Amino acid sequence: MNGSALLQRVQATLGTEIIQREAVSGGNIAQSEKLQLASGETVFLKRGGNDFLQEANGLAELAKPQVIQIPEVIAVESDFLVLEWIPTSSVPPDSKHAAAFGSQLAKMHRHSSELGFGFYEHNRIGATRQRNQPRSSDWASFFWQHRLQFQFELAEQNGLASQNVAKSFVTLEARMREAFSGSEEPPSLIHGDLWSGNVLFGTQGQAVLIDPATYYGHREAELAMTRLFGGFSSAFYQGYETEWPLPAGHEKRDPFYRLYHVLNHLNLFGSSYLAQAETLAR
Protein backbone atom coordinates (compact mmCIF):
# COMPACT_ATOMS: atom_id res chain seq x y z
CA MET A 1 0.00 0.00 0.00
CA ASN A 2 1.35 3.42 -0.90
CA GLY A 3 2.04 6.04 1.76
CA SER A 4 -0.82 8.37 0.90
CA ALA A 5 -3.41 5.60 1.18
CA LEU A 6 -2.01 4.54 4.55
CA LEU A 7 -2.06 8.13 5.82
CA GLN A 8 -5.69 8.41 4.78
CA ARG A 9 -6.42 5.34 6.87
CA VAL A 10 -4.53 6.84 9.80
CA GLN A 11 -6.63 10.01 9.54
CA ALA A 12 -9.84 7.98 9.35
CA THR A 13 -8.83 5.94 12.40
CA LEU A 14 -7.93 9.06 14.39
CA GLY A 15 -11.01 10.93 13.21
CA THR A 16 -9.03 14.08 12.44
CA GLU A 17 -6.85 15.51 9.66
CA ILE A 18 -3.06 15.45 9.59
CA ILE A 19 -1.99 19.05 8.99
CA GLN A 20 1.78 18.69 9.32
CA ARG A 21 4.33 15.86 9.10
CA GLU A 22 7.95 15.77 10.23
CA ALA A 23 10.33 12.84 9.76
CA VAL A 24 11.88 11.42 12.94
CA SER A 25 15.24 9.65 12.80
CA GLY A 26 15.96 6.29 14.40
CA GLY A 27 15.27 2.64 13.65
CA ASN A 28 16.10 0.59 10.57
CA ILE A 29 12.79 -1.19 9.98
CA ALA A 30 9.95 1.32 10.07
CA GLN A 31 9.52 4.95 9.07
CA SER A 32 8.78 7.34 11.92
CA GLU A 33 7.04 10.70 11.82
CA LYS A 34 5.82 13.42 14.15
CA LEU A 35 2.28 14.40 13.18
CA GLN A 36 0.41 17.58 13.97
CA LEU A 37 -3.33 16.95 13.93
CA ALA A 38 -6.20 19.33 13.24
CA SER A 39 -7.52 18.43 16.69
CA GLY A 40 -4.49 20.18 18.17
CA GLU A 41 -2.77 16.97 19.25
CA THR A 42 0.77 15.92 18.39
CA VAL A 43 1.33 12.20 17.89
CA PHE A 44 4.06 9.79 16.82
CA LEU A 45 3.51 7.54 13.79
CA LYS A 46 5.41 4.39 12.85
CA ARG A 47 4.67 2.83 9.48
CA GLY A 48 6.26 0.71 6.79
CA GLY A 49 7.18 -2.21 9.03
CA ASN A 50 5.07 -5.08 10.25
CA ASP A 51 3.79 -6.67 13.44
CA PHE A 52 2.80 -3.34 14.98
CA LEU A 53 -0.01 -5.15 16.78
CA GLN A 54 2.61 -7.14 18.65
CA GLU A 55 4.59 -4.02 19.46
CA ALA A 56 1.46 -2.37 20.83
CA ASN A 57 0.74 -5.44 22.97
CA GLY A 58 4.27 -5.33 24.33
CA LEU A 59 3.96 -1.66 25.26
CA ALA A 60 0.64 -2.34 26.96
CA GLU A 61 2.22 -5.12 29.03
CA LEU A 62 5.14 -2.92 30.09
CA ALA A 63 2.66 -0.26 31.21
CA LYS A 64 0.87 -2.60 33.64
CA PRO A 65 3.22 -2.11 36.63
CA GLN A 66 2.93 1.69 36.21
CA VAL A 67 6.51 2.35 37.28
CA ILE A 68 8.20 3.52 34.04
CA GLN A 69 6.65 5.83 31.47
CA ILE A 70 5.46 3.94 28.39
CA PRO A 71 4.02 5.78 25.36
CA GLU A 72 0.26 5.39 25.20
CA VAL A 73 -1.02 3.48 22.19
CA ILE A 74 -3.55 5.73 20.44
CA ALA A 75 -4.24 3.62 17.37
CA VAL A 76 -2.77 0.49 15.85
CA GLU A 77 -3.20 -1.77 12.85
CA SER A 78 -0.82 -4.35 11.46
CA ASP A 79 0.98 -1.78 9.27
CA PHE A 80 0.95 1.35 11.43
CA LEU A 81 1.19 2.42 15.05
CA VAL A 82 0.21 5.79 16.51
CA LEU A 83 1.61 6.67 19.93
CA GLU A 84 1.44 9.68 22.16
CA TRP A 85 4.18 12.20 21.46
CA ILE A 86 6.57 12.52 24.42
CA PRO A 87 8.99 15.47 24.19
CA THR A 88 12.51 14.24 24.94
CA SER A 89 15.81 15.76 25.95
CA SER A 90 18.96 15.58 23.83
CA VAL A 91 21.07 15.81 27.00
CA PRO A 92 22.10 12.50 28.65
CA PRO A 93 20.45 11.92 32.03
CA ASP A 94 22.33 13.04 35.12
CA SER A 95 23.23 10.51 37.80
CA LYS A 96 20.04 11.22 39.76
CA HIS A 97 17.75 10.40 36.85
CA ALA A 98 19.90 7.46 35.70
CA ALA A 99 19.68 5.96 39.20
CA ALA A 100 15.94 6.57 39.25
CA PHE A 101 15.62 4.67 35.97
CA GLY A 102 17.60 1.74 37.42
CA SER A 103 15.33 1.65 40.45
CA GLN A 104 12.20 1.83 38.28
CA LEU A 105 13.43 -1.00 36.08
CA ALA A 106 13.96 -3.20 39.14
CA LYS A 107 10.39 -2.41 40.26
CA MET A 108 9.08 -3.30 36.81
CA HIS A 109 10.97 -6.60 36.99
CA ARG A 110 9.07 -7.48 40.17
CA HIS A 111 5.90 -7.67 38.06
CA SER A 112 5.52 -11.39 37.46
CA SER A 113 3.22 -13.93 35.81
CA GLU A 114 1.79 -17.15 37.18
CA LEU A 115 1.74 -18.53 33.62
CA GLY A 116 5.50 -19.00 33.54
CA PHE A 117 8.30 -17.79 31.31
CA GLY A 118 7.33 -16.53 27.86
CA PHE A 119 4.40 -14.46 26.65
CA TYR A 120 0.89 -14.98 25.31
CA GLU A 121 2.10 -14.51 21.73
CA HIS A 122 5.25 -14.66 19.67
CA ASN A 123 6.75 -11.28 18.79
CA ARG A 124 9.91 -9.85 17.28
CA ILE A 125 13.31 -8.68 18.39
CA GLY A 126 14.30 -6.30 15.65
CA ALA A 127 13.16 -8.04 12.49
CA THR A 128 13.70 -11.53 13.91
CA ARG A 129 10.81 -13.65 15.14
CA GLN A 130 11.01 -14.20 18.89
CA ARG A 131 9.36 -17.38 20.11
CA ASN A 132 7.54 -17.07 23.43
CA GLN A 133 5.47 -20.26 23.45
CA PRO A 134 4.96 -22.80 24.79
CA ARG A 135 5.46 -21.11 28.12
CA SER A 136 7.49 -22.91 30.75
CA SER A 137 8.13 -22.99 34.49
CA ASP A 138 11.76 -23.93 33.76
CA TRP A 139 13.75 -20.87 32.75
CA ALA A 140 16.83 -22.81 31.60
CA SER A 141 14.76 -24.96 29.24
CA PHE A 142 12.85 -21.95 27.93
CA PHE A 143 15.99 -19.91 27.30
CA TRP A 144 17.78 -22.76 25.60
CA GLN A 145 14.93 -23.79 23.30
CA HIS A 146 13.40 -20.43 22.43
CA ARG A 147 16.45 -18.19 22.57
CA LEU A 148 19.88 -19.78 22.03
CA GLN A 149 18.93 -22.90 20.04
CA PHE A 150 16.43 -20.96 17.94
CA GLN A 151 19.02 -18.33 16.98
CA PHE A 152 21.71 -20.93 16.31
CA GLU A 153 19.44 -22.93 14.02
CA LEU A 154 18.48 -19.73 12.22
CA ALA A 155 22.17 -18.91 11.76
CA GLU A 156 22.70 -22.38 10.28
CA GLN A 157 19.82 -21.83 7.87
CA ASN A 158 21.32 -18.47 6.91
CA GLY A 159 24.76 -20.00 6.33
CA LEU A 160 26.26 -17.89 9.11
CA ALA A 161 27.06 -20.49 11.79
CA SER A 162 30.77 -21.27 11.63
CA GLN A 163 32.28 -24.61 12.66
CA ASN A 164 33.57 -22.93 15.82
CA VAL A 165 30.06 -21.85 16.84
CA ALA A 166 28.63 -25.28 15.96
CA LYS A 167 31.36 -27.04 17.97
CA SER A 168 30.66 -24.85 21.01
CA PHE A 169 26.93 -25.55 20.82
CA VAL A 170 27.54 -29.28 21.33
CA THR A 171 28.31 -28.68 25.01
CA LEU A 172 26.72 -25.25 25.47
CA GLU A 173 23.41 -26.41 26.95
CA ALA A 174 25.09 -28.42 29.71
CA ARG A 175 27.39 -25.51 30.54
CA MET A 176 24.45 -23.11 30.53
CA ARG A 177 22.37 -25.26 32.87
CA GLU A 178 25.29 -25.54 35.28
CA ALA A 179 25.75 -21.76 35.27
CA PHE A 180 22.01 -21.11 35.72
CA SER A 181 21.68 -23.50 38.67
CA GLY A 182 20.95 -21.58 41.85
CA SER A 183 19.74 -18.42 40.10
CA GLU A 184 16.10 -19.49 39.87
CA GLU A 185 13.54 -16.72 40.35
CA PRO A 186 9.89 -16.14 39.39
CA PRO A 187 9.34 -14.76 35.87
CA SER A 188 10.02 -11.02 35.55
CA LEU A 189 8.37 -8.68 33.09
CA ILE A 190 11.21 -7.52 30.86
CA HIS A 191 11.54 -5.14 27.93
CA GLY A 192 13.55 -7.74 26.04
CA ASP A 193 15.66 -5.45 23.83
CA LEU A 194 16.96 -2.93 26.34
CA TRP A 195 19.86 -1.09 24.76
CA SER A 196 20.39 2.66 25.01
CA GLY A 197 18.56 3.39 21.77
CA ASN A 198 15.33 2.00 23.20
CA VAL A 199 15.33 4.30 26.23
CA LEU A 200 14.42 7.96 25.86
CA PHE A 201 14.56 10.58 28.56
CA GLY A 202 11.82 13.17 28.80
CA THR A 203 12.33 16.86 29.34
CA GLN A 204 11.87 16.29 33.08
CA GLY A 205 14.55 13.57 33.10
CA GLN A 206 12.15 10.62 33.27
CA ALA A 207 12.96 7.40 31.42
CA VAL A 208 10.62 6.31 28.60
CA LEU A 209 10.77 2.79 27.14
CA ILE A 210 10.12 2.20 23.43
CA ASP A 211 10.47 -0.59 20.82
CA PRO A 212 10.00 -3.58 23.14
CA ALA A 213 10.47 -7.31 22.62
CA THR A 214 8.40 -7.98 25.73
CA TYR A 215 8.12 -11.28 27.56
CA TYR A 216 8.41 -12.75 31.05
CA GLY A 217 11.96 -13.94 31.59
CA HIS A 218 14.86 -13.77 34.02
CA ARG A 219 15.80 -10.20 34.89
CA GLU A 220 19.48 -11.06 34.50
CA ALA A 221 18.83 -11.40 30.76
CA GLU A 222 17.63 -7.79 30.69
CA LEU A 223 20.66 -6.46 32.55
CA ALA A 224 23.04 -8.43 30.33
CA MET A 225 21.59 -6.70 27.27
CA THR A 226 22.20 -3.28 28.82
CA ARG A 227 25.90 -4.16 29.12
CA LEU A 228 26.27 -5.43 25.57
CA PHE A 229 26.29 -2.18 23.61
CA GLY A 230 27.04 0.30 26.38
CA GLY A 231 25.15 3.49 27.04
CA PHE A 232 24.11 2.85 30.64
CA SER A 233 25.95 4.63 33.43
CA SER A 234 27.21 3.27 36.74
CA ALA A 235 24.45 5.30 38.44
CA PHE A 236 21.84 3.25 36.57
CA TYR A 237 23.26 -0.03 37.90
CA GLN A 238 23.63 1.40 41.40
CA GLY A 239 19.98 2.42 41.32
CA TYR A 240 18.98 -1.08 40.23
CA GLU A 241 21.11 -2.85 42.83
CA THR A 242 19.81 -0.62 45.61
CA GLU A 243 16.23 -1.54 44.71
CA TRP A 244 16.76 -5.26 43.97
CA PRO A 245 20.29 -6.75 43.99
CA LEU A 246 21.07 -9.37 41.37
CA PRO A 247 21.69 -12.96 42.53
CA ALA A 248 25.22 -14.02 43.30
CA GLY A 249 27.14 -15.33 40.31
CA HIS A 250 25.28 -13.29 37.71
CA GLU A 251 28.58 -12.41 36.04
CA LYS A 252 29.12 -16.03 34.94
CA ARG A 253 25.66 -16.17 33.40
CA ASP A 254 26.00 -12.85 31.60
CA PRO A 255 27.79 -14.30 28.49
CA PHE A 256 24.94 -16.74 27.81
CA TYR A 257 22.43 -13.91 27.81
CA ARG A 258 24.60 -11.69 25.64
CA LEU A 259 25.10 -14.55 23.19
CA TYR A 260 21.39 -14.50 22.37
CA HIS A 261 21.54 -10.90 21.22
CA VAL A 262 24.84 -11.32 19.38
CA LEU A 263 23.45 -14.32 17.49
CA ASN A 264 20.41 -12.22 16.64
CA HIS A 265 22.69 -9.47 15.30
CA LEU A 266 24.59 -12.12 13.35
CA ASN A 267 21.31 -13.21 11.74
CA LEU A 268 20.19 -9.63 11.13
CA PHE A 269 23.39 -7.96 10.00
CA GLY A 270 25.73 -10.71 8.88
CA SER A 271 29.21 -12.03 9.56
CA SER A 272 30.60 -8.89 11.20
CA TYR A 273 29.16 -10.34 14.43
CA LEU A 274 30.58 -13.84 13.92
CA ALA A 275 33.83 -13.38 15.87
CA GLN A 276 31.91 -12.00 18.86
CA ALA A 277 29.48 -14.92 18.69
CA GLU A 278 32.35 -17.40 18.58
CA THR A 279 34.01 -15.79 21.59
CA LEU A 280 30.84 -15.81 23.69
CA ALA A 281 29.90 -19.36 22.69
CA ARG A 282 33.40 -20.57 23.55
Is residue 94 part of the annotated active site? The answer reads: no
List pLDDT tens digits, range 61-86: 999 999 999 999 999 999 999 999 99
Q: What is the pTM of this model?
A: 0.95
pLDDT at 230 over 90: no
Going through 195-246 in order, the beta strands assigned E by DSSP cover 199-201, 207-209, 215-217
State mean pLDDT over 232-249. 96
Which among 51, 94, 193, 211 is annotated as catalytic?
Answer: 193
List pLDDT tens digits, range 42-67: 999 999 876 899 999 999 999 999 99
pLDDT at 138 over 60: yes
The pLDDT value recorded for residue 27 is: 63
CATH of the domain at 80: 3.30.200.20
State mean pLDDT over 25-41. 87
In a domain, 120, yes or no: yes
Q: Are 77 and 173 in the same domain?
A: no
The pLDDT value recorded for residue 1 is: 42
pLDDT at 180 over 90: yes
For the chain, how many structural domains are there in total?
2
Q: Are 102 and 80 in the same domain?
A: no
Q: Are 196 and 106 in the same domain?
A: yes
pLDDT at 26 over 80: no
280 touches 148 (CB < 8 A): no
